[in-house]
Amino acid sequence: MLDIANFDHIGIRISDRKASVAFYQLLGFRQIADGGYENGHPLVMLHPSGININLLGPATENQGHNILMDEPSKSPGITHLALKMKDAEATEAFVTENGIEITGRREFRGTKTIFIRDPDRNVLELVGPGPSVADLIAEHVHADR
């Protein structure tokens, strides 16, 4: 077993630097470095919570189309980023007030979750307070047996 300390960052390929940086800044991320975006290296975006997103670019194909989530055939890859929120109602109000479309929602055992998309249609799952999604899924699976 690997002795993992924590999750460090996730890389997200983007097609429009200006639109993506503005979107993630709206969510509270701050660009702390440009590692060479035009050469495919990351724009490092850091949130006050400590979450680090690397925006990689520029994408050369399928701009504005998420082949992992929007195609009927399913390809391997990371399908979404889930962020645990402190307040589900405040999160939904913020998203709505800022004109971000809610593309899905779920509620299970009091945990409210909404789904949004970034400018390249990458999915962000915003999970409200309550048990972890892992615990909720395990409980659901084991209850059906």
- The matching CATH number, chosen from 3.10.180.10, 3.30.930.10, 3.30.870.10, 3.40.30.10, for 64-145 is 3.10.180.10
CB distance 139 to 132 below 8 Å: no
Model pLDDT for residues 40-51, shown as the tens digit of each residue: 899 999 999 999
Task: Specify the pLDDT at position 144.
Answer: 62
Model pLDDT for residues 73-125, shown as the tens digit of each residue: 877 888 889 999 999 999 999 999 999 999 999 998 889 999 999 999 999 99
Rounded to whole angstroms, the Cα distance separating 116 from 87 reads 16
CB distance 116 to 105 below 8 Å: no
Task: Specify the pLDDT at position 133.
Answer: 83
Q: Average pLDDT of 47-69?
A: 85
Fold of 1-63: 3.30.720
Model pLDDT for residues 13-38, shown as the tens digit of each residue: 999 999 999 999 999 999 999 999 99
Q: Global pTM?
A: 0.88
**Which residues is 123 bridged to in the sheet?**
80, 117
CB distance 125 to 85 below 8 Å: no
Rounded to whole angstroms, the Cα distance separating 53 from 102 reads 21
Rounded to whole angstroms, the Cα distance separating 32 from 49 reads 14
Task: Specify the pLDDT at position 124.
Answer: 95
Confidence of residue 140 (pLDDT cuts 50, 70, 90): confident
For the chain, domain boundaries: 1-63, 64-145
Q: Average pLDDT of 63-78?
A: 76
The residue type at 6: N
Alpha helices in 38-132 (DSSP H): 88-97
Residue 60 has pLDDT above 90, yes or no: no
CA trace torsion 132, 91, 7, 123 (10° rounding): 100
- CA 39 to mean position of chain CA atoms: 23
